[in-house]
Amino acid sequence: MKISARNVLQGKVIKIVKGAVNSEVIIQLPTGTEIVSIITNSSVKTLGLKKGKDAYAVVKASNVMIAVE
């Protein structure tokens, strides 16, 4: 796999919550940290995502906001 994004995090799908149009996909990294992404149901099907499957969370953003209380 070749990709321009700098932040590629390998993990395992631990949960998929399917909605009417989109699904919430939760990937657990080896450290135990969980990454949540909302993608289309079509993408879930195309990627063959299911619980226990290895997957990558790819983060590409021009900015990241940080907030404190």
Number of domains in the chain: 1
Residue 38: its pLDDT value, please?
94
Residue 3: its pLDDT value, please?
83
Measure the CA–CA gap between 13 and 47, rounded to whole angstroms.
12
The angle subtended at Cα 55 by Cα 35 and Cα 64, nearest 5°, is: 35
Structural domain containing residue 30? 7-59
**Token digits of residue 59:** 């983060």
- Residues in the chain, pLDDT under 70: none
Q: Is residue 69 part of a domain?
A: no
Residue 59: its pLDDT value, please?
87
Q: Is residue 51 part of a domain?
A: yes
DSSP three-state, residue 42:
helix
Q: Among candidates 9, 58, 50, 16, which has minimal Cα distance to 32? A: 9
Q: Is residue 24 part of a domain?
A: yes
Q: Is residue 2 part of a domain?
A: no
Residue 30: its pLDDT value, please?
97
What sign does the dihedral 7-55-28-44 (CA atoms) show? positive
What is the tens place of the pLDDT at every residue in 37-49? 999 999 999 999 9
Residue 43: which CATH number?
2.40.50.100
Residue 24: its pLDDT value, please?
97
